[in-house]
């Protein structure tokens, strides 16, 4: 095991897969000379040259369109969309092209493309550079959706994504790039659709993903002081979704909290809550509670930005609301 930041784990996966398979190419704005907006691709241009690490013009539709075409004709492109907020510029290429070619060709054509992007809050980047838009992708059949919470998962899931024959949207949280954690010495691809039990517990299940895993773990530790055992499920991928892991956890604890940084209305948290009711509703001892992003544009002011997304206090209050523990003063 080696300890490294999340961004270095991503770079390691890219380097390993580009070394293993010459069809893997990286393209996007500033991925070469600059090393990527968050330094994920730093050094890859020197290692693999400008034919495989390609700095593109500032035209998101063109970048992703070229990626789809390259994937259809034999390459395995990793395309970087600098911010997930730019999905609106590429939804035809992603939702109408990449997602549908396998189906429309009867399986004769595949689009083995990874669309790497980053989202979420934490850097006061404002309303156009801080969103969590995973529900847009989750709604489209044919797209895999990956949102790792740890350096080990970032490396293992990106490895799987690059080797996948399906188009994968791989969303990295901007507040996690500096997070350090242990990463295996050898490449270990992590299967899609397999959630991780980040913390075992018997009293309530917190279902979450990406940066909110760490918020949930902190809330769980606070509840431990009150004698409440919180189970935290890190989904890791939203398509495919590990419904078995969700159901098993909720049936064990009888209580469920869904935590998501994305806006609350018509969202990932909405879908997860309904699935819990459909598949484990008879085991619930309290209504499912959601802790999600507020339905407002993300503010730039740090204090307002923090108020717009779930906090540890809000997760604790939701757990207490299921009938466990007691409310305590905000930390």
SS3 110: coil
Q: Are 32 and 49 in contact (CB under 8 A)?
A: no
Q: Could you tell me which of 65, 96, 95, 97 has the C-alpha nearest to residue 81?
A: 65
Residue 318 C-alpha from the chain's centroid:
23
CA–CA dist 209, 262 (Å, integer)? 11
Of 241, 226, 227, nearest to 328 (Cα)?
A: 226
CA–chain centroid gap for 90, Å, is 18
**What would the two tokens of residue 320 be?**
């207490």
Active site residues: 60, 129
Count the Cβ atoms, other than its own, within 10 Å of residue 107: 10
Buried b (16+ CB within 10 A) or exposed e, 126-163: beebbbbbbbbbbebebbbbbbbbbbbbbbbbbbbbbb
The tokens describing 144, both together, are 């895999």
């Amino acid at each position: 095991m080696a300890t490294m930041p999340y961004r270095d784990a991503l770079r390691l996966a890219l380097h390993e897969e580009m070394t293993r398979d010459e069809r893997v190419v990286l393209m996007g704005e500033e991925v070469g000379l600059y090393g990527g907006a968050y330094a994920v691709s730093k050094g890859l241009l020197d290692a693999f040259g400008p034919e495989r690490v390609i700095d593109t013009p500032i035209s998101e539709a063109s970048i992703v369109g070229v990626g789809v075409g390259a994937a259809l004709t034999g390459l395995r492109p990793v395309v970087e969309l600098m911010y997930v907020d730019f999905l609106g510029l590429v939804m035809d290429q992603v939702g109408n092209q990449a997602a549908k070619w396998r189906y429309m060709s009867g399986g004769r054509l595949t689009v083995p493309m990874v669309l790497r992007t980053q989202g979420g809050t934490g850097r006061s980047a404002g309303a156009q550079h801080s969103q969590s838009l995973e529900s847009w992708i989750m709604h489209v059949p044919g797209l895999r959706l990956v949102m790792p919470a740890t350096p080990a998962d970032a490396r293992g899931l990106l490895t799987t994504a690059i080797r996948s024959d399906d188009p994968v949207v791989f969303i990295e949280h901007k507040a996690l790039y500096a997070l350090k954690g242990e990463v295996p010495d050898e490449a270990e691809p992590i299967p899609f659709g397999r959630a991780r039990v980040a913390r075992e517990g018997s009293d309530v299940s917190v279902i979450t993903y990406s940066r909110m895993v760490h918020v949930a773990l902190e809330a769980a530790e606070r509840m431990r002081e009150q004698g409440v055992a919180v189970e935290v499920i890190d989904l890791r991928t939203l398509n495919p979704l590990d419904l078995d892991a969700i159901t098993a956890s909720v049936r064990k604890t009888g209580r469920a909290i869904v935590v998501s940084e994305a806006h609350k209305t018509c969202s990932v948290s909405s879908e997860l809550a309904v699935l819990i009711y459909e598949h484990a509703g008879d085991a619930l001892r309290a209504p499912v509670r959601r802790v999600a992003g507020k339905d407002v544009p993300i503010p730039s002011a740090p204090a307002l930005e923090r108020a717009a997304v779930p906090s540890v206090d809000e997760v604790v209050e939701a757990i207490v609301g299921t009938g466990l523990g007691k409310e305590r003063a905000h930390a």
